């Protein structure tokens, strides 16, 4: 019987917490929330680039998704555009550098 009470109480707390989170999101600037997701894509790409060996396919997908969001929202990004564009340029550069290292290693092994 105690287990049912605890489970119902946890569900009520979880629902209250979710309502609080939803309210917080509603009152936030959507550009900042989108930028936060973009930084998540940046981190996803970086994680795959720093894997041993780097997962170039997965990192390229995350980089392309980041670029697509920035491109699609270009004229609507006001406060975050420069930072997001810089992050995209940095992760693209890292991708190119790691890609060339990988191709150089493959050529050396032949």
Locate the domains of the chain by residue range: 29-109
DSSP secondary structure letter of residue 81: H
Q: Average pLDDT, stretch 30-48?
A: 97
pLDDT digits (tens, 9 = 90+) for 40-61: 999 999 999 999 999 999 999 9
Rounding to the nearest 10 degrees, give the CA dihedral for residues 18, 20, 22, 26: 180
pLDDT: is 1 or 10 the higher one?
A: 10
Token couple for 3: 């287990």
Q: Got the DSSP string for 2-25? A: HHHHHHHHHHHHHHHHHHHHHHHH
């Amino acid at each position: 019987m105690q287990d049912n009470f605890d489970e119902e109480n946890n569900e009520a707390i979880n629902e209250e917490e979710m309502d609080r989170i939803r309210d917080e999101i509603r009152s936030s600037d959507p550009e900042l929330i989108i930028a936060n997701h973009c930084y998540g894509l940046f981190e996803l790409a970086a994680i795959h680039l720093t894997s041993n060996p780097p997962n170039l396919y997965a990192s390229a997908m995350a980089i392309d998704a980041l670029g697509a969001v920035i491109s699609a929202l270009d004229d609507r990004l006001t406060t975050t555009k420069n930072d997001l564009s810089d992050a995209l340029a940095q992760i693209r550069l890292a991708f190119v550098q790691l890609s060339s290292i990988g191709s150089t290693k493959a050529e050396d092994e032949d």
